[in-house]
């Protein structure tokens, strides 16, 4: 096993050296760069496959799978497949004239979800009366209710959309950062998407991942200077913060854009404290490429990476950050080419990298997919839809939400929290949060075609729950 990994690593190093030129990813370099990267990844695939089949007899592969599954801890309560039986309401009565003008279309649950006047809107956006309130510690204490209004300790709805969570080891505190969208939703022009002016990045702190205290807006919009990236008329999305132990700085990366999404850049901000204030440094197009939905990921060895949708959202790019996390290096790869994925949320489990992404349908929900890789630089393989439970429409619409972050739960190596946004394009400030248990374990449903029926990856499952809580004792800090 060690030998096998060692050999593979050596091969990978050789490959890397041989194709060093292709790692400098430049979008303006055009198709030549693309082809060499594609050939590079193909060669990588073939090499890995050959090594896999040559070095490992079949029984060893079986053993390997056994090893992986035996590490799998079970959470029967969380893995219960909870059904959801939301019915599409009967069509409203229409005048015969209206029917003639526009024949009746069959509606789907997604149409109902997007219809502000739907009779079942409360199923997707339960009203304020059902809010999760951390200050009322009754029977509901510590329970997550995906989709309900979630209040902070002052009784206000949490404003941290498209967010991510940082665990700060120094203060043993979780910080949740996201888009503060507590302003009016409007359309800048006829063809423009629903938007809220930039207000800033909200930050909330918690020790238990349930009771969140508002730490204020830690990066604020620019009110007057129209040329500033953070001018309120622009776009700031998906802020994520990591800590750099070398420089002792908290570094925030975010998607920066103009109202028409043509700037397609990343922005960087920095602070001495997790609660800010963050100083905005600059924006750029990473590797010269357009960059929209993005995330950052800090690996065990302290190396951090930027992952972003590029080439008009048709592919993702993954590239390492400089040691101070304030810029990208020129080491980058194109991944999931032609797959049109966004909203990447990356995590690592027992040395394997996993990523959940969504399709690109604006504010409308769509099907999530999981991808896996042995090296963060790829090749990445698409595994399938991780959603379990609800009903078929729920699973095909990521429970009417879009991925934003995957948070590891301490003490339980195969348990994570899947964080997603249920966007409300009619009133974006009222978009809801879906936190659901994500588990890694077991075999993928369908053996993948090019590894001889033996999946290399474990299955990733996100279980639908109307109400759930983390297993007792998850928090070794307490």
Ligand X SMILES: *[C@@H]1O[C@H](CO)[C@@H](O)[C@H](O)[C@H]1NC(C)=O
* Member of 90, 103, 138, 351 binding ligand X (CB under 6 A): 138
Q: How far apart are CA 364 and CA 384, in angstroms?
A: 20
| Contact assessment for residue 236 and residue 256, using Cβ atoms and an 8 Å cutoff | yes
Instruction: Draw the binding track, 41-70, toward ligand X (x: CB under 6 A; -: no contact).
Output: ------------------------------
Residue 244, sorted as left (phi over 0), alpha (psi -120 to 50) or beta, turns out to be: beta
In the bound complex, what is the minimum distance in angstroms from residue 34's beta carbon to ligand X? Answer: 28
In the bound complex, what is the minimum distance in angstroms from residue 193's beta carbon to ligand X? Answer: 11
- For position 260 contacting ligand X by CB under 6 A, the verdict is yes
In the bound complex, what is the minimum distance in angstroms from residue 405's beta carbon to ligand X? Answer: 29
Q: What is the dihedral of CA 469, 474, 475, 478, to 10 degrees?
A: 90
∠ CA(58), CA(61), CA(63), 5° rounding?
115
Q: Is the peptide bond before 135 cis (omega within 30 degrees of 0)?
A: no
> What is the 8-class DSSP label of residue 213?
E
In the bound complex, what is the minimum distance in angstroms from residue 263's beta carbon to ligand X? Answer: 9
Q: How far apart are CA 9 and CA 466, in angstroms?
A: 44
Q: How far apart are CA 137 and CA 151, in angstroms?
A: 13
Of 35-43, 160-168, 254-262, 394-402, which part binds ligand X (CB under 6 A)?
254-262
In the bound complex, what is the minimum distance in angstroms from residue 139's beta carbon to ligand X? Answer: 4
| Contact assessment for residue 56 and residue 425, using Cβ atoms and an 8 Å cutoff | no
- For position 139 contacting ligand X by CB under 6 A, the verdict is yes
In the bound complex, what is the minimum distance in angstroms from residue 126's beta carbon to ligand X? Answer: 16
**What is the edge-to-edge ordering of all strands in the sheet holding 432-443?**
387-388, 458-463, 432-443, 415-422, 402-408
Of 203-211, 253-261, 447-455, 464-472, which part binds ligand X (CB under 6 A)?
253-261
- Closer to ligand X by CB, 137 or 391: give it: 137
**Positions 286 through 345 that interact with ligand X (CB under 6 A):** none
- For position 259 contacting ligand X by CB under 6 A, the verdict is yes
Instruction: Draw the binding track, 159-198, toward ligand X (x: CB under 6 A; -: no contact).
Output: ------------------------------x---------
- Closer to ligand X by CB, 196 or 407: give it: 196
In the bound complex, what is the minimum distance in angstroms from residue 189's beta carbon to ligand X? Answer: 5
Residue 383, helix vs strand vs coil: strand
Q: How far apart are CA 430 and CA 262, in angstroms?
A: 26
Closest by Cα among 352, 353, 280 to 316: 353
- For position 137 contacting ligand X by CB under 6 A, the verdict is no
Of 153-161, 257-265, 399-407, 422-430, which part binds ligand X (CB under 6 A)?
257-265
# chain residues binding ligand X, by CB under 6 A: 6
Write out the residues near ligand X by the rule CB under 6 A.
Answer: 138-139, 189, 258-260
């Amino acid at each position: 096993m060690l030998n096998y990994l060692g050999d593979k690593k050596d091969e990978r190093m050789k490959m890397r050296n041989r194709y060093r030129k292709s790692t400098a990813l430049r979008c303006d370099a055009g198709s030549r760069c693309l082809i060499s990267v594609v050939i590079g990844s193909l060669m990588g695939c073939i090499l890995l496959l050959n090594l896999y089949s040559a070095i490992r007899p079949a029984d060893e592969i079986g053993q390997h799978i056994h090893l992986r599954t035996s590490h799998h801890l079970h959470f029967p309560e969380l893995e219960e497949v909870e059904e959801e039986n939301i019915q599409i309401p009967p069509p409203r009565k229409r005048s015969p004239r209206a029917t003639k003008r526009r024949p009746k279309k069959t509606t789907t649950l997604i149409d109902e979800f997007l219809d502000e006047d739907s009779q079942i809107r409360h199923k997707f956006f339960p009203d304020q009366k059902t809010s999760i309130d951390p200050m009322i510690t009754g029977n509901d204490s510590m329970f997550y209710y995906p989709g309900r209004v979630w209040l902070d300790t002052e009784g206000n709805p949490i404003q941290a959309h498209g967010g991510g969570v940082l665990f700060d080891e120094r203060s043993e505190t979780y910080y949740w950062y996201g888009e503060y969208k507590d302003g009016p939703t409007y359309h800048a022009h006829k063809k423009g998407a629903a938007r809220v002016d930039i207000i800033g990045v909200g930050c909330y702190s918690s020790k238990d991942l349930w009771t969140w205290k508002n730490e204020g807006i830690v990066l604020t919009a620019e009110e007057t200077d129209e040329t500033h990236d953070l001018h309120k008329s622009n776009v700031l999305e998906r802020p994520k913060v990591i800590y750099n132990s070398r420089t002792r700085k908290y570094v925030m990366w975010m998607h920066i854009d103009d109202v028409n999404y043509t700037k397609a850049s990343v922005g960087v901000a920095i602070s001495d404290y997790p609660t800010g204030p963050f100083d905005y440094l600059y924006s750029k197009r990473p590797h010269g490429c357009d960059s929209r939905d993005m995330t950052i990921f800090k690996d065990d060895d302290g190396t951090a990476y930027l992952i972003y949708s590029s080439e008009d959202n048709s592919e993702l790019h993954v590239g390492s950050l400089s040691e101070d996390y304030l810029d990208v290096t020129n080491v980058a790869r194109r991944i999931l080419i032609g797959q049109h994925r966004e909203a990447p949320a990356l995590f690592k489990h027992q040395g394997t990298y996993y990523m959940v992404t969504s399709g690109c349908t604006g504010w409308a929900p769509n099907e999530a997919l999981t991808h896996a890789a042995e090296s963060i630089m790829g090749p990445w393989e698409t595994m399938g839809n991780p959603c379990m439970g609800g009903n078929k429409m729920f699973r095909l619409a990521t429970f009417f939400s879009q991925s934003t972050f995957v948070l590891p739960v301490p003490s339980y190596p195969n348990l994570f929290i899947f964080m997603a946004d249920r966007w409300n394009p009619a009133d974006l400030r009222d978009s809801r949060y879906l936190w659901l248990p994500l588990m890694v374990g077991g075999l993928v449903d369908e053996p993948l075609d090019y590894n001889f029926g033996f999946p290399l990856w474990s299955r990733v499952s996100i279980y639908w729950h109307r109400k759930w809580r983390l297993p007792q004792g998850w928090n070794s800090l307490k």
